[in-house]
């Protein structure tokens, strides 16, 4: 869980896409060489490396936005791709140029498939996780008597969506209650196993919850569902681009994610993975023109005209993360989260809702800051300490949420902990 990157990671960084591609960016190169002198040997310089990664984002160095669970900044390579491809359409909106862009979109599909370790034939490029989740809840044939098992702490796009559609189509929604603190992986595997009956058609869960960052035993629950002949859906909004996700290993039937969260892609782009074995069990929700070229995208991606630039920019984002190192990104974000949990836990009266156990959490940390008013504290942290957090309503495990990613720094975490400590003494 250290924040440094090994010599092997650096070697891989250069091997993958090469130094030329990554360090071609003058800002990156300048920051990097400032941090390392002119030496080409880059192993063993953990913080210097992450500083050079941070320089690939246009956020000012003194602004510490710890809100990856909500929205991430796009990196410079992503912004460049977005501008380049967007300008290209305006310069040349011909059918020929649009056909080129459609071809580029297919390269994004391939990149998404490689990133998630599945096949391009199983990938639908959506607008976001909400759309992907709703394509699942609207696309499965469900009728009165059928049951759907959901986690109560799912995002509305994967909870309210099922509840509302149940009113229309007459199926029953069975909810697994959330427990705090995280009761352990076995608890949730057991709860899902017991909730599945002969009437269950699909189970759905959140890989990492957006509320308090509880990690779910996705692989085990998907296995139980598979063994019982039940479909499984995994909402990956908080795992895609943070965890080194391997869908061939987890084997859900459906997985959804957003480019504008942890992958740091362009806004309004997302993914729906539909496992080859489940493709005959789901209907498209939208019928129009401009489908994808392969597999399930031929029938599921006819969304009409789209902005290909955002999809091409997503490919750039995936390449950027691959070059930095996906395992290193996961390790970095998680280590910042652990640093935060440890720091907050030492402050008097602060209640950290997130499990301190790294096998049960990710990089989403929620806490109640004693008797301080959370919205006022959030505002003070932003205005006076240049730290951006998300607010959480006081009803359920409320307070503030910080979700650090690989562009954040240990200094920002220290700044947050000491600022909260200060406000606990002075008030806000």
Ligand X SMILES: Cc1ncc(COP(=O)(O)O)c(C=O)c1O
- Binding footprint of ligand X on the chain (CB under 6 A): 70, 128-130, 155, 157-158, 206, 210, 235, 237-238, 258
Could you tell me the smallest distance in angstroms from the CB atom of residue 300 to ligand X? 17
Q: Is the Cβ of residue 151 or residue 423 nearer to ligand X in the bound state?
A: 151
Strand spans (E) along 6-119: 64-65
Q: Is the Cβ of residue 31 or residue 235 nearer to ligand X in the bound state?
A: 235
Look up residue 174 and give its two tokens: 């069975």
Alpha-carbon torsion (261, 266, 268, 273), positive or negative = negative
Could you tell me the smallest distance in angstroms from the CB atom of residue 215 to ligand X? 12
Q: Is the Cβ of residue 28 or residue 216 nearer to ligand X in the bound state?
A: 216
Could you tell me the smallest distance in angstroms from the CB atom of residue 65 to ligand X? 15
Beta carbons within 8 Å of 168's beta carbon, 6+ residues apart: none
CA angle, 86 then 87 then 89, to 5°: 70
Q: Is the Cβ of residue 147 or residue 235 nearer to ligand X in the bound state?
A: 235
- The helix/strand/coil state of 258 is strand
Q: Is the Cβ of residue 129 or residue 251 nearer to ligand X in the bound state?
A: 129
What H or E segment, with its residue span, contains residue 260? none
The CA-based diameter of the chain, rounded to the nearest angstrom, is 69
Task: Report the C-alpha gap between 126 and 259 in whole angstroms.
Answer: 10
> Among 208, 270, 212, 262, which residue's Cα sits nearest to residue 235?
208
Look up residue 190 and give its two tokens: 């057991």
Please report where in the chains the tokens 């129009």 appear, as a residue.
288
Could you tell me the smallest distance in angstroms from the CB atom of residue 40 to ligand X? 40
Q: Is the Cβ of residue 146 or residue 268 nearer to ligand X in the bound state?
A: 268
Could you tell me the smallest distance in angstroms from the CB atom of residue 268 to ligand X? 8
The helices-and-strands tally (H runs, E runs) of the chain is 16, 13
Cα of 347 vs its chain's centroid, Å: 29
- The helix/strand/coil state of 94 is coil
Could you tell me the smallest distance in angstroms from the CB atom of residue 233 to ligand X? 11
Q: Is the Cβ of residue 258 or residue 335 nearer to ligand X in the bound state?
A: 258
Task: Report the C-alpha gap between 297 and 377 in whole angstroms.
Answer: 46
Could you tell me the smallest distance in angstroms from the CB atom of residue 6 to ligand X? 31
Could you tell me the smallest distance in angstroms from the CB atom of residue 39 to ligand X? 41
> Among 283, 323, 320, which residue's Cα sits nearest to residue 302?
283
CA angle, 41 then 44 then 50, to 5°: 95
Q: Is the Cβ of residue 267 or residue 386 nearer to ligand X in the bound state?
A: 267
């Amino acid at each position: 869980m250290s924040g440094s990157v090994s010599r092997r990671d650096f070697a891989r960084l250069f091997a993958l896409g090469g130094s030329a591609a990554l360090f071609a960016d003058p800002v990156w190169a300048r920051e990097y060489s400032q941090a390392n002198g002119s030496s080409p040997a880059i192993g063993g310089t953990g913080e210097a490396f992450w500083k050079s990664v941070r320089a690939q984002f246009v956020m000012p160095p003194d602004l510490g936005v710890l809100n990856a669970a909500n929205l991430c900044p796009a990196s410079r390579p992503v912004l460049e791709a977005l501008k380049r491809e967007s300008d290209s359409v305006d310069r040349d909106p011909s059918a020929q140029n649009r056909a080129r862009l459609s071809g580029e979109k297919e390269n994004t599909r391939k990149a998404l498939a490689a990133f998630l370790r599945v096949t391009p034939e199983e990938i639908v490029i959506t607008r976001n996780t909400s759309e992907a989740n709703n394509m699942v809840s609207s696309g499965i044939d469900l009728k009165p008597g059928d049951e759907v098992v959901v986690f109560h702490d799912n995002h509305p796009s994967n909870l309210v969506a099922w509840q509302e559609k149940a009113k229309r189509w007459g199926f029953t929604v069975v909810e697994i209650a959330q427990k705090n603190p995280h009761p352990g992986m076995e608890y949730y595997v057991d709860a899902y196993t017991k909730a599945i009956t002969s009437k269950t058609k699909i189970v759905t869960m959140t890989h990492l919850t957006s509320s308090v960052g509880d990690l779910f035993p996705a692989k085990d629950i998907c296995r139980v569902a598979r063994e019982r002949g039940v479909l499984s859906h995994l909402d990956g909004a908080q795992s895609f681009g943070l965890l080194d996700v391997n869908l061939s290993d987890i084997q859900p039937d459906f997985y959804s994610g957003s480019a504008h969260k942890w992958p740091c892609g362009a806004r309004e782009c997302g993914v729906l993975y539909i496992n080859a074995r489940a493709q005959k069990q789901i209907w498209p929700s939208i019928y129009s023109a401009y489908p994808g070229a392969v597999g399930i995208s031929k029938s599921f991606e006819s969304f009409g005209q789209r902005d290909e630039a955002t999809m091409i920019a997503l490919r750039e984002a995936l390449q950027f993360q691959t070059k930095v190192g996906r395992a290193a990104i996961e390790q970095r974000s998680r280590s910042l989260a652990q640093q935060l949990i440890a720091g907050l836990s030492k402050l008097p009266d602060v209640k950290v809702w997130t499990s301190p156990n790294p096998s049960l959490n990710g990089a989403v940390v929620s806490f109640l800051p004693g008797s301080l008013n959370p919205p006022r504290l959030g505002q003070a942290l932003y205005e006076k300490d240049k730290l951006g957090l998300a607010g959480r309503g006081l009803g359920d495990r409320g307070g503030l949420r910080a979700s650090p990613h690989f562009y954040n720094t240990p200094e920002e975490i220290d700044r947050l902990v000491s600022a909260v400590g200060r406000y606990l003494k002075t008030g806000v």
